[in-house]
Structure 1
Amino acid sequence: MANIHINIGSNQNRKHNIRQAIEGLRMNFFDIECSDIFESVAAGFDGKNFYNVGVNATTDLIIADVISVLHTLEDQQGRDRLQPKFSSRGIDLDLVLYDEVIDKKNNLPRDDILKYNFVLAPLTQLSPQGVHPLKKKTYTQLNATMEALQSYNIEILNKD
């Protein structure tokens, strides 16, 4: 079994879409553990704030099949793949980590961990002592560095 981390993002009908995505993840993966909801401003475009949730899970699927499941779940929720990368969306499911695998083709570990606090903060909450496969630092250490270098524009909301 592989340990995986998925980041869920939505800025349209946010709570509903995230709940629906989590239910889809529960049907396809094991040992689901969710972070709190993190709210952040839209990155790269003007739009409504996003909600992001980190999800730790286990799977017996290979990387390509995990990504396929995530795309299927997005499609079931009406994801429009023709929209620009930086745009509003009902749901976005990204495979962030697959064990300690380093795979450039599939962007693992996902480079967004080191770019965006809305990816790193939920990951840190769920796996504070986890070690980034490339940087060899804990997510807590990376999060502290990001907090010091960037305006930390996220807010933790209650799970409800």
Structure 2
Amino acid sequence: MITAYIGIGSNVEREKHIRAACHELSLITENLRLSPVYACESFGFSGNDFYNMVVRLDTALALNELSAALKEIEVKWGRDIDAAKFQNRTIDLDILLYGNEISQKKPFIPREDIFKYSFVTQPLYDIDPNLVIPGDGRTVEQILETIPAPVPLRRIEFQF
């Protein structure tokens, strides 16, 4: 089993789609651990506020199999297969980390968003602040402290 961390985001029917994403992940993986859910303004475009969170899970799927399974979930729940980076999302699922793997091809691991966006790093911190990022050597806590312009986040009381 490999421990992976998946970023989940939605800004379309957010509660419904965050719950759906977690349920779908529970069907294909094991030992889900959920971060708190955070709300933040859409980033890079004008749209509804996003809900974001991170899930830690164990999987027997290879990296490419996990990536394909996540794409299937996104499409099943209404995401356009050719969706652009900065647009509204029903479900956005991103592999942030996959064990100690480093991948320089899609999916890029560790995902660069960990180093750029507080809406990714804060929920990752909530799950495991002392996790060392492969290839970087810093902990999630150290990275969170260095994000230059953190996106303002509001923690949401969320019932799963």
TM-score clears 0.5: yes
Contact 2:6 2:96 survives alignment (8 Å): yes
Which stretches of structure 1, 4 residues or longer, exceed 4 Å deviation after superposition? none
TM-score between the two structures when normalised by the length of structure 2: 0.95
In structure 2, the residue matched to 1:60 is 60
In structure 1, the residue matched to 2:155 is 156
Report sequence identity in percent. Answer: 34
In structure 2, what residue type is equivalent to 1:157? I
Local SS of the residue matching 2:125: helix
In structure 2, what residue type is equivalent to 1:119? V
Give 5+ residue unaligned stretches, structure 2. Answer: none
Give 5+ residue unaligned stretches, structure 1. Answer: none
1:72 aligns with 2:46: no
> Structure 2 CA distance, aligned partners of 1:68 and 1:91?
14
In structure 1, the residue matched to 2:146 is 145
1:49 aligns with 2:49: yes
In structure 2, the residue matched to 1:21 is 21
Aligned-pair RMSD on alpha carbons? Answer: 1.0
Q: Aligned pair count? A: 158
Alpha-carbon offset, residue 159 of structure 1 = 2.2
In structure 1, what residue type is equivalent to 2:144? N
In structure 2, what residue type is equivalent to 1:48? N
In structure 1, the residue matched to 2:104 is 104
TM-score between the two structures when normalised by the length of structure 1: 0.95
Alpha-carbon offset, residue 115 of structure 1 = 1.1
> Structure 2 CA distance, aligned partners of 1:94 and 1:15?
18
